[in-house]
C-alpha cells in the first residue's frame, strides 16, 4: 500500500465539520410498506461506520437514498453540509460508491473503465489517465488493465470497482457488501485497502454480511432491523450491552462428566455446561476466579489443557438484536477446511 | 465545464462501445440500403426514385435510432452500469442528452445510405440540401427521443424492440410514404398528424420534390414540440422509475 501515498494524497474534511453524514428520521415507503422507517444516525469525518442488518432490513435502500439512487419519502439527509435533495448533485461529487454488484462496462478494458469513471467527475484527460494507471498498479491489475472487464475474475472485478469508486478521491466512500463472494486473498487485500484509505482521511460507510469484517474494521456500528436502527455505538458499547454473564471455558484431558455433580455442588450459583468430552463451560453472574476451579480439577486428578474467558462477540450482539443467525466470514470457512 | 467533460466522454464511450462496432456499422448500412433498394428497384423511372427518397430516408432514420437506443439504454440498465451515470454529479437531462447524442449521429449516418444509392440512379439536382439536413436532423432527434421514451419504460431489450414496433409501423403507414395523406380515409388522417414522422417526411418531400403539403414552419415546430414532449416524458420516467 506504499504507492497509495503518491496517488491518494491525504485529504481531511474541513475541520469545522463535525458530521460528514447526518441522517434524521429517514423514511422510504413503497406503497404502505416502510422499507426504511425513521432512521437517524450521524457519521463523523474519518470514521469507518458499519451498517449491519439481516437481508431485507433496509441497508441497500438506505445507501441508495444517501447516494441519490432512491428518492427520500420523508426525513432529512446532509452530506458534508449539503442538504438533500437540493444538494445531491454537489454531494455526488464528493462521494464514492461501490455497489453490491460490480457494474462497470463489460466491453471496456480496465484502464478505459477507470478513465471513463474519472471523466464522469470532470477530470481532464491527462489527470484521469495518470490516476487510472496508478490505481491499476496499486490494485495489482496493471496487466489486466488491457483486458475487457468481462474477462476479469470476481475478485478482480471487485477491486476494479473499488478503484473506480475512489478515482475522484471522494471524501466519503459507500461500500455495499464489498467482499461478498470473492476469494480470501482478494477480500483481505480489500480490507487492508479500506483501512489505508481511512487512515489517509476517507470516511467509510460500510455494509457487510460478514460480522467479523465489521468487527475488525469499524469504529462504530449501527444495526438496522426491519427498517429501524435498533442499536448504534462503538464495539465496546455494543458488546457491553450483551455481557450479562461471565463465561469461562475449560478443556481437560479427561472426560469431565464424572466430575460434574461435584463441581456444581462445590460452586453454587454457577452453571456448568458440558460441551462434550473434556470441554466444559462455567456460566456465572459474577466474575469467575480461575484458581478455585484449577484446584478442583487438580484434586480430581484432571489435567487442564486450556482455560479461557469467553467474551461476547459482535455476532452475539447481532443475533440478540436481529434474531437472525449470521453467515461466517469467508476466511473462516476457508480456514476451517484446511 | 466538468459536466461537458462527462457529456463528451459518455458520447465517445457509446460511439466506441456500440455505434462504431463493425456489426452495427454494417447493420446501419445494410438495413437502409436493402430497404431503399427494395423500393428503388420496384420503381419504374428515375423520377420515382426521387419520389421515394424522402420516405426511404425517414424510415432509415426511424428504425436505426430506435433500434440502437433500445440496446444502449436497456442493456446498460439491465447490467446496472447505467447506475454509474445516475450516481455521477451530472444532471439527469444532460446525461440523457449524452446517451442520445450517439443515436442522433447514427440516424444521420443511416439517412446518408438512401441518398448515396439514389445518386447512382437519378439526378439529385435542385434539392434544397440544407433543408434536407435540417429535416433529417429533426427526424433523428424525435425518433431518438421516441426510442428513449420506449427504452426507459421497459426492462428488457426485446420488450423495447417489440414496443418500438407499436409506434414505428403505424407511423410508416400513416406518414404519407405509401399512401399520400390526402388519400387516407378521413378517420385515419388525424392519426397521421399525431405521428412525428409525418412532419419529417413532409419537410424532406418539400426539399427533394417541392411537393410537401404542410407549411414548413408548422412541420419544424411540430418536430421540435414532439422532441421536447418525448424528452420530458423520458426525463420524468427516469426520475420516477430509475431513481425509485
pLDDT digits (tens, 9 = 90+) for B6-62: 999 999 999 988 888 887 777 777 877 887 788 777 776 766 788 889 988 999 999
d(CA B145, CA B238): 13
Q: Residue B47: what pLDDT?
A: 64
- State chain B's mean pLDDT as an integer: 88
Beta-bridge partner residues of A76: A24
Chain B residues within 8 A of A116 when measuring between CB atoms: 9, 13
Cβ pair A68:B86 closer than 8 A: yes
Average pLDDT value for residue range B166-174: 87
Helix, strand, coil content of chain A in percent (nearest 5): 40, 25, 35
State the CB neighbour count (10 A cutoff) for residue A51.
Answer: 29
State the CB neighbour count (10 A cutoff) for residue A66.
Answer: 25
d(CA B122, CA B208): 12
Rg (CA), chain B: 18
CA distance readout (Å), A112 to A66, A119, A160, A284: 27, 10, 11, 61
Q: Residue A12: what pLDDT?
A: 58
- Give the three cell numbers for residue B123: 439526378
Chain A residues within 8 A of B17 when measuring between CB atoms: 105, 107-108
Residue indicated by cell numbers 486428578: A301
Helix axes B129-151, B46-78, angle to 10 degrees: 30
Q: Residue A25: what pLDDT?
A: 95
Helix axes B92-121, B2-14, angle to 10 degrees: 40
Cβ pair B87:A68 closer than 8 A: yes
State the CB neighbour count (10 A cutoff) for residue A257.
Answer: 12
Chain A residues within 8 A of B22 when measuring between CB atoms: none
Question: What are phi and psi for residue A52, nearest 5 degrees?
Answer: -115, 150
Given CB atoms, is A80 within the 8 Å cutoff of chain B?
no
What SS3 class is residue B23?
helix
* Long-range pairs, B156-159, Cβ under 8 A, ≥24: B156/B74, B156/B78, B157/B70, B157/B71, B157/B74, B157/B75, B157/B78, B159/B74
Count residue pairs from A and B with Cβ separation < 8 A.
70
Q: Which of B4, B8, B12, B13 to mutate to test the interface with A (most CBs of A within 10 A)?
A: B13
d(CA B202, CA B210): 10
Chain A residues within 8 A of B8 when measuring between CB atoms: 119
Given CB atoms, is B244 within the 8 Å cutoff of chain A?
yes
Residue indicated by cell numbers 428497384: B41
Cβ pair B83:A103 closer than 8 A: yes
Q: Which residue of B has its CA nearest to A71?
A: B244
Q: Which of A89, A104, A119, A175 to mutate to test the interface with B (most CBs of B within 10 A)?
A: A119
Given CB atoms, is B17 within the 8 Å cutoff of chain A?
yes
Q: Which residue of B has its CA nearest to A88?
A: B89
CA distance readout (Å), A162 to A49, A128, A156, B8, B242: 17, 15, 10, 24, 23
Given CB atoms, is A12 within the 8 Å cutoff of chain B?
no
Quickly state the pLDDT bin for B200 (edges 50, 70, 90). very high
Cβ pair B79:A103 closer than 8 A: yes
Rg (CA), chain A: 24
Query: A219: closest CA among A205, A230, A231, A208?
Result: A205
Cβ pair A117:B84 closer than 8 A: yes
Using a pLDDT cut of 70, give the percent of chain B over it: 98
Given CB atoms, is A106 within the 8 Å cutoff of chain B?
yes
Single pTM value for the model: 0.82
d(CA B211, CA A233): 77
Sign of CA pseudo-dihedral B17, B79, A37, A31: positive
pLDDT in tens, chain A (338 residues): 444 544 455 455 666 678 899 999 999 999 999 999 999 999 999 999 999 988 888 999 999 999 999 999 999 999 998 999 888 999 999 999 999 888 899 999 999 999 999 999 999 999 999 999 999 998 889 999 999 999 999 889 999 999 999 999 999 999 999 988 888 888 898 999 999 999 988 999 999 888 889 989 999 999 999 999 998 999 888 887 776 678 899 999 989 998 988 998 999 888 888 988 899 999 888 888 889 999 999 999 999 999 988 877 788 788 877 776 555 444 444 433 43
Q: Which residues of A, range 140-169, sit inside 8 Å of B by Cβ? A: 164
Query: B52: closest CA among B166, B189, B167, B180?
Result: B180
Q: Residue A333: what pLDDT?
A: 45
d(CA B126, CA B65): 28
Asked if A67 contacts B87 with a C-beta cutoff of 8 angstroms, the reply is: yes
Asked if A298 contacts A328 with a C-beta cutoff of 8 angstroms, the reply is: no
Given CB atoms, is A267 within the 8 Å cutoff of chain B?
no
Q: Which residues, in sequence order, are CB contacts of A271 under 8 Å at separation 6+? A: A282, A283, A284
Q: Which residues of B, range 65-94, sit inside 8 Å of A by Cβ? A: 79-81, 83-91
- Give the three cell numbers for residue A314: 459482535
Q: Which residue of A has its CA nearest to B86?
A: A69
Given CB atoms, is A122 within the 8 Å cutoff of chain B?
yes
Q: Which of A30, A122, A165 to mutate to test the interface with B (most CBs of B within 10 A)?
A: A122
Q: Which residues, in sequence order, are CB contacts of B208 under 8 Å at separation 6+? A: B50, B53, B54, B127, B128, B132
Nearest by CB: A99 against B8, B83, B243: B83
Asked if A75 contacts A26 with a C-beta cutoff of 8 angstroms, the reply is: yes
Amino acid at each position: 500500500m506504499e504507492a497509495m501515498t503518491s496517488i491518494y494524497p491525504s485529504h481531511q474534511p474541513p475541520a469545522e465539520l463535525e458530521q460528514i453524514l447526518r441522517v434524521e428520521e429517514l423514511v422510504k415507503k413503497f406503497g404502505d410498506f416502510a422499507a426504511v422507517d425513521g432512521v437517524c444516525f450521524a457519521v463523523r469525518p474519518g470514521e469507518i461506520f458499519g451498517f449491519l442488518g439481516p437481508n431485507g432490513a433496509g441497508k441497500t435502500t438506505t445507501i441508495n437514498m444517501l447516494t441519490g439512487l432512491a428518492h427520500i419519502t420523508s426525513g432529512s439527509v446532509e452530506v458534508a453540509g449539503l442538504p438533500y435533495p437540493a444538494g445531491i448533485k454537489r454531494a455526488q461529487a464528493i462521494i464514492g460508491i461501490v455497489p453490491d454488484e460490480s457494474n462497470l462496462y463489460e466491453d471496456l478494458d480496465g484502464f478505459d473503465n477507470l478513465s471513463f469513471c474519472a471523466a464522469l467527475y470532470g477530470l481532464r484527460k491527462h489527470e484521469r489517465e495518470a490516476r487510472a494507471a496508478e490505481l491499476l498498479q496499486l490494485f495489482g491489475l496493471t496487466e489486466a488493465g488491457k483486458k475487457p472487464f468481462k474477462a476479469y475474475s470476481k475478485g478482480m472485478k471487485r477491486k476494479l470497482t473499488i478503484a473506480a469508486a475512489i478515482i475522484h478521491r471522494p471524501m466519503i466512500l459507500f461500500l455495499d457488501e464489498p467482499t461478498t463472494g470473492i476469494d480470501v486473498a482478494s477480500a483481505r487485500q480489500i480490507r487492508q485497502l479500506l483501512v489505508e484509505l481511512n487512515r489517509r482521511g476517507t470516511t467509510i460507510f460500510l455494509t457487510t454480511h460478514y460480522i467479523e469484517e465489521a468487527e475488525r474494521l469499524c469504529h462504530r456500528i449501527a444495526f438496522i432491523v426491519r427498517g429501524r436502527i435498533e442499536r448504534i455505538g462503538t464495539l465496546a458499547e455494543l458488546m457491553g450491552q450483551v455481557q450479562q454473564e461471565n463465561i469461562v471455558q475449560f478443556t481437560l484431558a479427561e472426560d469431565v462428566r464424572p466430575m460434574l455433580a461435584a463441581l456444581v455442588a462445590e460452586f453454587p450459583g454457577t452453571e456448568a455446561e458440558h460441551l462434550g468430552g473434556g470441554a466444559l463451560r462455567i456460566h456465572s453472574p459474577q466474575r469467575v476466579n480461575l484458581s478455585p476451579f484449577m484446584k478442583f480439577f487438580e484434586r480430581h486428578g484432571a489435567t487442564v489443557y486450556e482455560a479461557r474467558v469467553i467474551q461476547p462477540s459482535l455476532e452475539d450482539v447481532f443475533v440478540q438484536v436481529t434474531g437472525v443467525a449470521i453467515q461466517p466470514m469467508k476466511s473462516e470457512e476457508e480456514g476451517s477446511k484446511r | 465545464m466538468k459536466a461537458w467533460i462527462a457529456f463528451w466522454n459518455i458520447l465517445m464511450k457509446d460511439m466506441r462501445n456500440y455505434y462504431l462496432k463493425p456489426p452495427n456499422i454494417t447493420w446501419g448500412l445494410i438495413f437502409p440500403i436493402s430497404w431503399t433498394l427494395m423500393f428503388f428497384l420496384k420503381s419504374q423511372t428515375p423520377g420515382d426514385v426521387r419520389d421515394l427518397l424522402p420516405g426511404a430516408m425517414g424510415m432509415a432514420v426511424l428504425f436505426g435510432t430506435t433500434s440502437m437506443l433500445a440496446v444502449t439504454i436497456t442493456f446498460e440498465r439491465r447490467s446496472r452500469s447505467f447506475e454509474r451515470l445516475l450516481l455521477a454529479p451530472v444532471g439527469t437531462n444532460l446525461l440523457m442528452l449524452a446517451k442520445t447524442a450517439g443515436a442522433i449521429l447514427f440516424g444521420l449516418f443511416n439517412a446518408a445510405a438512401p441518398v448515396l444509392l439514389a445518386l447512382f440512379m437519378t439526378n439529385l439536382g435542385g434539392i434544397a440540401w440544407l433543408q434536407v439536413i435540417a429535416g433529417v436532423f429533426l427526424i433523428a432527434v424525435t425518433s431518438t427521443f421516441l426510442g428513449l421514451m420506449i427504452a426507459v419504460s421497459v426492462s428488457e431489450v426485446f420488450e423495447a424492440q417489440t414496443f418500438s414496433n407499436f409506434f414505428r409501423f403505424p407511423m410508416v403507414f400513416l406518414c404519407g410514404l405509401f399512401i399520400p395523406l390526402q388519400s387516407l380515409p378521413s378517420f385515419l388522417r388525424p392519426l397521421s398528424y399525431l405521428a412525428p414522422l409525418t412532419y419529417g417526411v413532409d419537410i424532406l418531400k418539400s426539399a427533394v420534390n417541392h411537393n410537401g403539403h404542410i407549411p414548413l414552419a408548422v412541420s419544424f415546430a411540430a418536430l421540435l414540440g414532439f422532441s421536447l414532449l418525448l424528452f420530458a416524458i423520458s426525463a420524468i420516467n427516469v426520475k420516477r422509475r430509475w431513481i425509485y
